[in-house]
Chain A
Amino acid sequence: MTDRPGGPGERRAERGEGPTPTEFTAVGEQHADDVLGAYVLDALDAQEQDAVGRAIAASPELAAQEHRLRHAMDELVAAGADPVPADLWDRVVGATIDSPRPGPVSGPVGVPMGRTGWSRRPRLWLPAAAALLVLLVALATAVSVIAGGGTPVEQRLRAEATTARLRGAAAGTLVGRDGPVVEVVATRDGRVWLFADRLPRLRADRTYQLWALDDGDPRSMGVLGADPRATRVRAPVVGNRLALTVEPAGGSPQPTGPPVAQGRLA
């Protein structure tokens, strides 16, 4: 103990009280042991917390006790996990993109992580790439219309989509195994434009089909044909997740295979 014999700390100790926060420049092992539980709960004053932390760092025995108590609290916290809102990950991604990182952030250094199942989850760069693509689509649309590129139908659809986007329609990118393949613009009243420059042409007996995904079963939003380039469908968008499958010509009431591309509207 750092308290002098007969000092104020000792008198408080006799009453079952600890030192005041200003006396915690250092604490003895016995006092640190007394307040170890409060330390784990972060229930000490800041100075006291730091002082006990130093005492723990200097004592393997205290460190072992602290580890055991903290593990108990960790189990309590882990057992109280809440469902995570769907947009929280997007918020984290947005914040990390805005946050500069010190040092190099790209290029493999050391042993790369294994490409396990989790590596197929949506990637961090996707929202940024999607936003960029939406911008590029809008730009390309403007250039295309001005330059007269594409078929007249495609030009008209792109102009419609750009107008809808400017009026607040949702947009998104459906991403396939090799990257973005379809740009989508959708209005609340169920008008959906799709621009699919990078989808491979299918055999004549197959078709692409668009699905809206919510908590229930997939809902068909339309059959797009074997070689969709610029298309407009009329279908209510339920939720904000979309997927594209390959189906027999004419479409299917339910998907018969896994999605070849998927994405979210925002």
Chain B
Amino acid sequence: ATTAVAEEWNVSLWGSPRAFTAHVEKIAELVDEKTGGEFTLNISYGGLSNNRENLDGISIGAFEMAQFCAGYHRDKNPSITVLELPFLGVSSLEQEVELSMAVYQHPATVADLARWNATLLMPSPLPQYNIAGVGDAPAALTDFEGLSVRATGGIGAAMETVGAVPTSMSASEVRQAMDSGVVKAVAFAPHAHMSFGTIENATWWTENLNPGTVNCPVVVNTDALDGLSDDHREALLGSVDEALDHYIANYNGATMEAWGPALEERGITRVSFSDDEIAAFKEAAAAPAAAAWIEQNSAAGLPAQELYDMVTGMIADGS
């Protein structure tokens, strides 16, 4: 292919520009720079698709790049939901990126996403979904008994094992539900706790429960990627690392720096559980969830055990 043709890609995100989209904004900037404005990424926040239909849009060819979360639709992307299992023990965003990239490059994952004509480009690493809540702060895991908590997917299942009552609703309804007492607690990443206003009500936050997180990749349309000139493709793929560095620096910087003071300003108690408590929680929740995941996805024809072993192995090696 030649480099003379100007190339414009449409990118489907949702919501508004935020820490969660900083890497996409950055990669657009880098690609534009590297190609002298010949290859541009035209980012749209919600104009091109619903967030739950971004993979459909990629498969149709309506746009060339998109972001989505694996937990929105497990059956669309079973392979990457391994990264959403509870209590994997991931401790940093850097580690989250490394694990994600390994899973994304696994042949089973590549084949899984190929059903959507999609190629995984990079993750949008999120910290652990610790829980913020109203009422008496839990001192021990037994205090979760009967607590209504907004938690989806694997985290919801994990909470159920200690007697909590997981309830589902869209993120935009969470604040209302908390105001109205429909839920007493909410599991979110810190930036979401801030942007969806759950900390306005909350009186406590679990500092070290670390029940898990969601995995939200950025994908590109495979045909569009193959159709790029070599220079343009290199400009795009060669910018991934720098975009992710920018994302992590921004998240750890701006967002996490705002998080501590945000808790203190509102007098929110940080709840810390003992190592024994956490270990007990893990035992109750993590092993059964992993076993169920492996069984279900093996039945669906995925090398589930292999994917799970790869992820847990990397974590054990401290990578």
A and B: partners? Answer: no
